[in-house]
Amino acid sequence: MNARVLSGRPVAAAIQSQLSADIDELLRQGKKRQLLIVAATDDPSSASYVRTLQRFGGQTGVTVTVADLGPDASEIDIRTVLETASADENVHGIILQTPLPDGASISGLGSAIAVEKDVDGANPASLTRLLAGEACFAPATAAAVVELLDHYEVGLAGRPISVVGRSLVVGKPLLHLLLNRDATVTVAHSRTADLAAATGTAAVVVAAAGRAGLIRAAHVAQGSVVIDVGTNFDDAGALVGDVEAGSVGAVAAALSPVPGGVGAVTTALLFRNTVYGLPDPSGSPSLPAAAGAVL
């Protein structure tokens, strides 16, 4: 593997360091920041992620509260908790964990989360704002891709970027985040007839299709930047992305791996959103769009 590894850890650490300093100052002023996690599941991977969030909160000084409604909660129960938290001035960010109980849908319940506290972009109104270029939170995984590209000074404006995957939580919001940053965006997916044609000339390829080994050397241009957003599990139960890292790493200039890539950045962004609130309509990139392409 010749590609530079674009690790998410220093990106997350930079965010965490800034957050810790600012939270210390807020606490000195008597101002707490609270992230509420609403869970209605006994799924072990949800529980594991909740622990990750609690650990990050403990390290940064953000209060993390879990409303554990159990796997039998009704949609009305969940909605009531979300609406109450939306109106509670002591709650600054709200996350609704999945999976949800049978009959409850994330799109239906997301609308109960106030847009200015919707730190993971679950409210359809947040997506509408994203399309219109208005202040909003995008789903954190999609935002983490842009954050990681910014951190490593990968230019976006004017450049061809291919997103593989069209989910409502990653591919579609990411497409609009990239368009808002003036990238030329191609969206490929499971029905794309010629995947290599859709990705092979892109300066940046983002793999978010949810299929292990989908992106191989033949799919990426020499010298391109490849961001793996896949979360798949191999036969041994290990987390693997969508990118065949060995072969792609020999062609690409840089590769963000799974694990160790966007995942950690996603977590950090949920907290940054909780602490600082809605970004300005430009999406407040950590670098100006004109910063140019280092990679």
Residues that bind its own copies (CB under 8 A): 107, 124-125, 127-128, 131-132, 157-160, 166, 168, 172, 175-176, 179, 182, 184-189, 191-194, 197-198, 201
Least Å distance between CB 51 and its own copies? 31
CB of 75 to its own copies, least distance (A): 18
- Tell the smallest beta-carbon distance from residue 194 to its own copies (Å): 7
Identify which of 279, 240, 282, 271 has the alpha carbon closest to the alpha carbon of residue 52.
271
Q: How far is CA 33 from the centre of its chain?
A: 21
9 is in an annotated binding site: no
Distance CA 64, CA 91 (A): 10
231 labelled ligand-binding = yes
Confirm or deny that 165 is annotated as ligand binding.
Answer: yes
For 81, which DSSP code? H
CA distance 86 to 149: 32
Rg (CA), the chain: 19
CB of 137 to its own copies, least distance (A): 15
Can you spell out the DSSP letters for 154-213? ---TT-EEEEE---TTTHHHHHHHHHHTT-EEEEE-TT-S-HHHHHTT-SEEEE-S--TT
Q: How far is the CB of 44 from its own copies (least distance, A)?
A: 29
Q: Dig out the tokens for 62 from the structure.
A: 């953000």
Q: Summarize the annotated binding site for NADP(+) as residue ranges.
A: 165-167, 231
